[in-house]
């Protein structure tokens, strides 16, 4: 192996937010991100079209604006580079 296993996981594994059994507090969620070693592993997802939903929040409460942007925009674009391919087109 040319890299540590944790580096391989961070570069190849993505986790999604739905269903999200979020930690009980914002501080616990921040500790979880620290343990993961990367906030770039999180992507937004939904449970649509299932009629049962775990509330009306699309994301856990207490996330910073920057982290929400990463989860909703930046991380998906980085993971699926073709999403940005049409930027600026027509």
Q: What is the pLDDT of residues 44-63, one digit of tens each?
A: 887 777 666 566 677 777 88
Structure tokens at 4: 């540590």
Contact call for residues 71 and 17 (beta carbons, < 8 A)? yes
Residue 89 pLDDT exceeds 70: no
Domain spans, the chain: 15-83
Radius of gyration of the chain (CA): 15
Instruction: State the Cα–Cα distance between residues 17 and 44, nearest whole angstrom.
Output: 5
pLDDT, the chain, mean: 80
Q: What is the pLDDT of residues 59-82, one digit of tens each?
A: 777 888 999 999 999 999 999 888
Highest mean pLDDT among 11-20, 44-53, 78-87: 11-20
State the average pLDDT over residues 22-31: 77
Instruction: State the Cα–Cα distance between residues 29 and 89, nearest whole angstrom.
Output: 38
The reported pLDDT for the residue numbered 22 is 65
Structure tokens at 19: 């269903």
Contact call for residues 20 and 60 (beta carbons, < 8 A)? yes
């Amino acid at each position: 192996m040319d890299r540590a296993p944790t580096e391989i996981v961070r570069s190849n594994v993505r986790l999604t937010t739905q269903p999200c059994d979020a930690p009980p507090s914002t501080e616990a969620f921040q500790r979880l991100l620290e343990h993961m070693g990367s906030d770039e592993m999180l992507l937004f997802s939904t449970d649509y079209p299932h009629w049962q939903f775990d509330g009306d929040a699309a994301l856990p409460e207490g996330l910073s604006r920057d982290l929400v942007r990463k989860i909703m925009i930046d991380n998906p674009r980085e993971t699926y580079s073709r999403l940005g391919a049409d930027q600026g087109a027509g």
